[in-house]
Amino acid sequence: MLFRLQPKQSPPAATKKFQSKTNSSTICIFPAIERGSTVTTEQAPDAILDLLARFERNRETYQANAYNETQLRREFIDPFFAALGWDVDNKQGFAEAYKDVIHEDAIKIGGATKAPDYCFRIGGTRKFFVEAKKPAVNLKDEVSPAFQLRRYAWSAKLPLSILTDFEEFAVYDCRVRPAKNDKPAVGRILFLNYQDYAARWEEISRVFSKQAVLEGAFDKYAETTKAKKGTAEVDAAFLKEIESWREALARNIALRNPKLTQRELNFSVQRTIDRLIFLRICEDRGIEDYGALQALLNGERVYPRLRDLFHRADERYNSGIFHFQKEKDRREEPDELTLRLQIDDKPLKDIIRSLYYPDSPYEFSVLPADILGQVYEQFLGKVIRLTSGHQAKVEDKPEVKKAGGVYYTPTYIVDYIVKNTVGKLLEGKIPKQVAGVGAHGRAPLRILDPACGSGSFLIGAYQYLLDWHRDWYVNDGPEKHAAGKRPELYQAGKGDWRLTTAERKRILLNNIFGVDIDPQAVEVTKLSLLLKVLEGENEQTISQQLKFFHERALPDLSSNIKCGNSLIGPDFYEQQLNLIDDEERLRINAFDWQAEFAEIMNAGGFDAVIGNPPYIRIQTMKEWAPVEVEVYKQSYQAASAGNYDIYVVFVEKGLGLLNKSGRLGFILPHKFFNAKYGEALRALIAKGKHLSHVVHFGDQQIFAGATTYTCLLFLDKAGRDECHFVKIDDVESWRIENKAVEGKIAASSIASAEWNFAVGRGADLFEKFGRMPVKLGDVAQRIFQGFKTGADSVFILEEHSNGKYYSKALESVIHIETKYLRPLYKSGEMKRYYLHKNSRFVIFPYRDGTLIGWREISAKAPKTAEYLRSCKEILAKREKGRWAGEQWYCYSRNQALEVVSNAKILTADLNPSANYCFDELGKACFPGGAAGGYGIILNQSEYLYILGLLNSKAVDYYHKQISTNFRGGWYGYDAKVIRNIPIRTINFSDPADKTRHDRMVALVERMLALHQQLAAAKVGHDKTALQRQIEATDKQIDQLVYELYGLSEEEIKII
């Protein structure tokens, strides 16, 4: 991109109406702006032209030092953004949470302003910051203003933000990590002089106007530059930072405290980091004296002095993060470990130094709670292990290693789930009902995340409750809720009503609950929630609470957020009394819901269960948690059969924890909709008519860095007559513009059978196909997966030359007979109506599914026998020596070996669309598993007729509705799906029907012949001509299928 950087100029003579001195611009600054459009001065509104004219007339006055930032904001910046459609002065009277623009209070800490001047928002969500400076400041060349803005926006994870003194307007890409030595131009993608505004107003408006932001132009620009060189997301950078702290502290604490156990070491390191982060954030928010931690850099004995700060924090906050003495009515045991630790000065000084300017790029006052949660979610995926020499090693937890990492739930997903669970439960209620006081309700509204991790869902639910309470009080008349001994509101500014800290604490303790098996996750959840309590507080308000209410600033969350295994109860210990050791008991961490949440369980259970449960296949869990696998199988219906995934157990448990009117909302894989292991859970949900609402993302990806096919699942304990089903084809369109296909599914149609829901325009057509009585499975003798040799490197060979083949096992060319060789086709070679020739062969030592004797192989193919014998050690060692006997040269699985030599229809296991082909002679072999396929053997020899149906657009349309779809537009063509393809049978007694059949056979014969000719064609012209004939024949087959299936013109249009 080319941008003109204009120096500050002397003003031209003032004119009655401002005229731009620059030419109309045709440069496209942002991808969202259409190239080639000519922008003229008339497109700038009169309000902007008036501002420009006024600035020109009085420029010397405005550039003087006496003209301050406050005057500039009121006279120029506010009207500038008002012209872009923003409600700068909140004329619409929105509550604080929903204002377009937040004018941040300038908190002076350590001589620096700790908040950006403006925060522009949509629906309460930050979009960009604006930092204003008076015109006397040279924005183009001065280092400090640019660094300040970038530090704010980078810490808040905002892609773009603006620095302006009205005379100059600079847009920064704030994903470029700020560094103290950066020049002002680093990250700057646009620099305009005020004289450019009129000519280039359209460019500014199309990205920064409220309408443009609402329509997604701002976000689209951010996406198009996402991978820009030099960008570094704040969460990734902060994660790297705290991981380095963990490494340094773990090594030092392990060295200086040799009697610590591994569990004690993990606790000590995590708690020290939590305390430092908490206090540092409090400093930037103005709650703690700025620089209190930084002062520890002067002098020695850092940890003893740090302990003094911790003790003061305990007296001030009452938080479990700082809990050193036994207290009445407090269940949580005090920390008697960390105060006795020996920690050297160097690691602590290094950490503290990295928390402050100029070494720190972080501005903790604007660091969002969800960003902190994302960082911690990743951070908790590792654990410190002590070696035999008591050295600390940080490594992935086994479940994380197997899962390929930790994936944080995006904030918009959390918000949607909270809105559709907590939000629905709040409809029609008043605060007293939510609190469960007086005659308004029997119990408070209780919200649970049974696998809370870093607390992202509980933070989302808590924020929703805070906003709901504040809005209700304001609408009910704020003054009466700001009076009395225990006011719910206080006024922070004109029209700015906020919940008191006491009210925020009450809501948290009354309504928010969580459980996690990881004690470190529990502490992080508490930390995140406590920081949320303190939002908007400062040193003065905290001191007032201590003085007037005689209570500390933060609540004790030990009765709300608990550590334990949500899925295993105390009866486990009775069953396993002497079978497991103490360390295993601690790892399994059984949890007694009745004892830990007695009041809630006695009242019937929780009102809402929300979250993102773990996704772990049971085959993986068996490697590191075999005891739990067996317990789940015995204790849960959802785990009673098949190789289930643990999330299905969490769904069953979550449903069981709800009270009779409760609601569950999870994000989880939608694989259980169709998988065999999901049948038990589907039956459980269907029986109770619990399915209330589904958002199905298909192949759209939600988690960054992971390929996981997910949905949002909402269940009602009381049951529903219908389910609201939402199908998402494009996540961004849904997220930004709420575009989706929606419909209702009757509860009576939901059963334990596979869930294939169709909504929208094609729903009736889907039902029509589904009602057809005969399926492919009815006319097929066998639908089978390809074979598995267990030693592909031995059995599969590449043709090198006549009679010579390359063996991967021996890494050499061998010479063997062709007697036991069969052509091998992988998924990529199974094309529509033909098998693509390749040079791959497989040794197939079977006849009618029975292994041919070694003596016969040796006699009829001695070179083959010699080759197999040279690989005997490899073959005999398969599956820990299972095949070490006389059948050492057999395949590891004997599935379908007796039918693979039959005539058959073949399909790859994954296809973008139907690609069925025909192996008439039964010579083709194909593997199972990855890059494999499936064979179809029919009861009658109607292969060509069936082949035409399967490759048609109409039948494939239905297939895609019932199949699993994968990213990139791929679909599963496995046995459980294709056996349910509806087949139009032929009544051979009906001449018209027989004619249709014969015509289909003729067309398919022609199609097979054309593909053979195309494969043999060498001349480009011939290939083109043949391709045209293939396309014409294909259309004829499609038309015939439409006729056979009785489809209307409207239904054909849908296909």
Q: What phi, psi does 34 have (nearest 5°)?
A: -70, 130
Considering just the CA atoms, what is the radius of gyration of the chain in Å?
34
Q: Give me the residues paired with residue 727 across strands.
A: 696, 741
**Residue 654 near residue 451 (C-beta atoms within 8 A):** no
Write the CB contacts of 640 (distance below 8 Å, at least 6 apart in sequence): 633, 680
| Among the ranges given (163-172, 345-354, 494-503, 684-693), the one the predictor scored with the smallest mean pLDDT | 494-503
Q: Which residue, among 292, 288, 247, has the nearest Cα to 384 in the 3D structure?
A: 247
Q: Is the pLDDT of residue 112 over 70?
A: no
Question: H helices of 381-518, where?
Answer: 398-403, 411-419, 422-426, 431-435, 456-475, 478-481, 501-511
Q: How many CB atoms lie within 10 A of CB 948?
A: 28
Confidence of residue 33 (pLDDT cuts 50, 70, 90): very low
Q: How many CB atoms lie within 10 A of CB 917?
A: 24
Cα distances (angstroms) measured from residue 716 to each of 449, 720, 796: 16, 7, 53
Q: Give me the residues paired with residue 724 across strands.
A: 693, 744
**Residue 283 near residue 274 (C-beta atoms within 8 A):** no
Give the residue-averaged pLDDT of 503-514: 96
Q: Give me the residues paired with residue 847 across strands.
A: 850
Q: Is the pLDDT of residue 720 over 90?
A: yes
Cα distances (angstroms) measured from residue 614 to each of 248, 566, 818: 30, 12, 51
Percent over 90 (pLDDT), the chain: 62
| Among the ranges given (34-48, 133-147, 262-276, 915-929), the one the predictor scored with the smallest mean pLDDT | 34-48
What the block records as the tokens of 305 is 């002095």
Q: Which residue, among 154, 179, 150, has the nearest Cα to 162 in the 3D structure?
A: 150
Write the CB contacts of 174 (distance below 8 Å, at least 6 apart in sequence): 149, 150, 153, 154, 158, 159, 160, 161, 187
pLDDT digits (tens, 9 = 90+) for 931-961: 889 999 998 889 999 999 999 999 999 999 9
Q: What angle do CA 768, 769, 770 make, to 5 degrees?
A: 90
pLDDT digits (tens, 9 = 90+) for 10-22: 333 333 344 443 3
pLDDT digits (tens, 9 = 90+) for 215-268: 888 888 777 765 455 556 788 888 899 999 999 999 999 999 999 999 999 999
Confidence of residue 128 (pLDDT cuts 50, 70, 90): very high
**Alpha carbon distance 902, 937 (integer Å):** 7
Confidence of residue 5 (pLDDT cuts 50, 70, 90): very low
What is the model's pLDDT at position 107?
Answer: 45
Element (H, E) at 756: none
**Residue 787 near residue 896 (C-beta atoms within 8 A):** yes
SS3 798: strand
Q: How many CB atoms lie within 10 A of CB 930?
A: 9
Q: Which residue, among 104, 142, 539, 138, has the nearest Cα to 363 in the 3D structure?
A: 104
pLDDT digits (tens, 9 = 90+) for 793-835: 999 999 988 779 999 999 999 999 999 999 999 999 999 999 9
Please tell us whether the domain made up of 779-982 is placed in CATH 3.30.750: no
Beta strands 933-938 and 780-785, pairing class: antiparallel
Residue 666 is given by DSSP the state E
Q: CATH number for the 41-224 domain, one of 3.90.1570.30, 1.10.260.40, 1.20.210.10, 2.70.70.10?
A: 3.90.1570.30
Give the residue-averaged pLDDT of 546-575: 80
Q: What phi, psi does 15 have (nearest 5°)?
A: -120, 160
Give pTM, 2 decimals.
0.81
SS3 1024: helix
Write the CB contacts of 614 (distance below 8 Å, at least 6 apart in sequence): 399, 451, 646, 647, 650
Q: Which residue, among 821, 939, 844, 930, has the nearest Cα to 894 in the 3D structure?
A: 844
Q: Is the pLDDT of residue 432 over 90?
A: yes
| Among the ranges given (172-181, 319-328, 504-513, 658-667), the one the predictor scored with the smallest mean pLDDT | 319-328
Beta strands 512-516 and 447-449, pairing class: parallel
pLDDT digits (tens, 9 = 90+) for 460-486: 999 999 999 999 999 999 999 998 888
| Domain boundaries defined on the chain | 41-224, 234-403, 779-982
